[in-house]
Structures are given as C-alpha cells and as structure tokens.
Amino acid sequence: MSEQPAASRIQVEALAEGFKARAGQVAEQLGLPLTLADADFSLQVGEHGLQLQQLGPDAPGPVRVDFVEGGAAHRRLYGGGSGQMIAKAVGIAQGVRPRVLDATAGLGKDAFVLASLGCDMSLIERQPLIGALLEDGLARAAEDFDVAPIVARMKLLKGNSIDVMLNWQGEPPQVIYLDPMFPHREKTALVKKEMRLFRPLVGDDLDAPALLAAALALASHRVVVKRPRKAPCIEGPKPSHALDGKSSRYDIYPKKALKP
C-alpha cells in the first residue's frame, strides 16, 4: 500500500475519558491531530483497542484488527488447515513450514493464517495508520492464551516494503508473499468494508512491479503474488504457474524447491 493517504483528513479520538492519554500517545506517534474539522476518518481509541472509523452518512462500520474472535477465530478453527490454497501457494507441506515475509500485510489476515499453520512470519505494512491497527491487534492477541503462541510467530517490521527488502539484514525469507492493492473498480471488489475504507486512504499500489522485483531479488525459494482471479499478472517476469480460486488466484514464482 502506498505511504501517503490520498487526500484524507484524519483525526485521533478517545471514545471515553479514560482513553485520552492513550489517544494523545497515538496522535503524537502518527503525527495526527486530536480534533479536526471536517475529518474524513477517525482513529478511535477505546476498550477494544484501536479502530478506524470512516466518517460521513454512508460510511461502513469501524475496522480493527482482531485475531482472537470473529473471522480470524473461525478460520483458525475451521478454515481447512494446510489444505487451504494459500498454504499450498507458499509451499506448506509435510515437514515444510517456510519462513515467510508478508510484504503487504494490511490487517494481517493472511499472515495470521500462515502463522497458525506453523510458519514464522515477518510482516511489513508501510501505511503507518494501517500499521498502527496491526500493531495494536498483535499486542491484544498476545494476551490471549490460545492465540498468543500464534502471534509470537508474527514479527511486525516498519518502513517502506521495497526499502526493507532491498536493505534486508540477516538470513533472507524463504518465501515472500505479496497482495498489492489492485486498481480494480468493479463493485464486487469493494464489498468488504476494509476495502471501502482502504481505497480513499491508501490508493492503489502503483509500484507493484518494483515490489515484485525486490521480492524476487530477496526470497531464497519462491515469491507468491495474490491477485483478483481475472486480473493480469504484475508487470515483469511471468509466474511459472498459478493456483486459481473462486475470486482470487496465487501466481507462483519459484526459485528453489522447498524441502523438509
């Protein structure tokens, strides 16, 4: 996701008196005002942690990161385990749990699935506002008995995804996973409130070719790119093959076989 919000006015708001100090810390950390006339978005601090609320008459409900309940819990318990397409795409197999870098982490949903299957995950979310939601969700999940061991395998890195990959220190990730924001305008692509929220906030990933190039240079074993099912491949080297689902597909760029 692009670093600069697309002409959006954002304020930080405490939902109760007891959260004003925390709201002040968040506002200072992100360089955002506590009150803003005609704000488009409100980053709210309350009993459930951080949540982002779009303002206006047709705005969807708030978005926050929750790895303990809701969709994340359902998928963790009933999502199909290592038989899921994303698991096959990154190379999970008997005795194989690759080290994965999710360079477009967003709200961390895919990274959480892979961590729940045993992968050690590094995550980069370069949009600071979304990164703050993700960091808050990870901190709350670390306090849950069942989920803490999973999020312990999720390390959040800060910075521009391309810069972090180009300046990587230490052992490289075996697999790099990319899910760039696609400039897609069909109504079916906008049904999720997260997407309705992210579009005006972060725009599209117009540097996806550079993102792919950096990933291919760093990953030791393979790069996986998630795309809308009918979307073109990212400009650049072509994938060797793809795994197709109902609404999305995974383009696979192999470099070396993953072995137990």
Task: List per-residue pLDDT tens for the chain, 260 residues long.
Answer: 334 344 478 999 999 999 999 999 999 999 999 989 889 899 999 999 999 998 988 888 899 999 998 777 766 766 667 889 999 999 999 999 999 999 999 899 999 999 999 999 999 998 888 999 999 999 999 999 999 999 999 999 988 999 999 999 999 999 999 998 765 554 444 445 566 666 666 655 678 999 999 999 999 999 999 999 999 999 999 999 999 988 899 999 999 999 98
CA 45 to CA 14: how far, in whole Å?
5
> Is the same domain home to 229 and 140?
yes
> Is the same domain home to 40 and 96?
no
> Is the same domain home to 23 and 91?
no
Asked if residue 61 is part of any domain, the answer here is no
Is 179 one of the annotated binding-site residues? yes
What does the pLDDT read at residue 59?
A: 84
Asked if residue 104 is part of any domain, the answer here is yes
Range of the domain at 86: 70-254
What number of H helices and E strands is found in the chain?
9, 10
> Is the same domain home to 30 and 156?
no
H or E segment to which residue 22 belongs: helix 20-30
Is 99 one of the annotated binding-site residues? no
| Joined tokens for residue 190 | 């906008």
What does the pLDDT read at residue 1?
A: 39
Quickly list DSSP for 175-217: EEEE-PPP----GGGG-SHHHHHHHHHH---TTHHHHHHHHHH
Is 126 one of the annotated binding-site residues? yes
Asked if residue 3 is part of any domain, the answer here is no
H or E segment to which residue 109 belongs: helix 109-116
Give me the CATH number covering residue 244: 3.40.50.150
Assess contact for 109 and 137: CB atoms under 8 A: no
- Give the largest CA-CA distance in the chain: 57
Nearest to 205 by CA among 231, 234, 230: 234
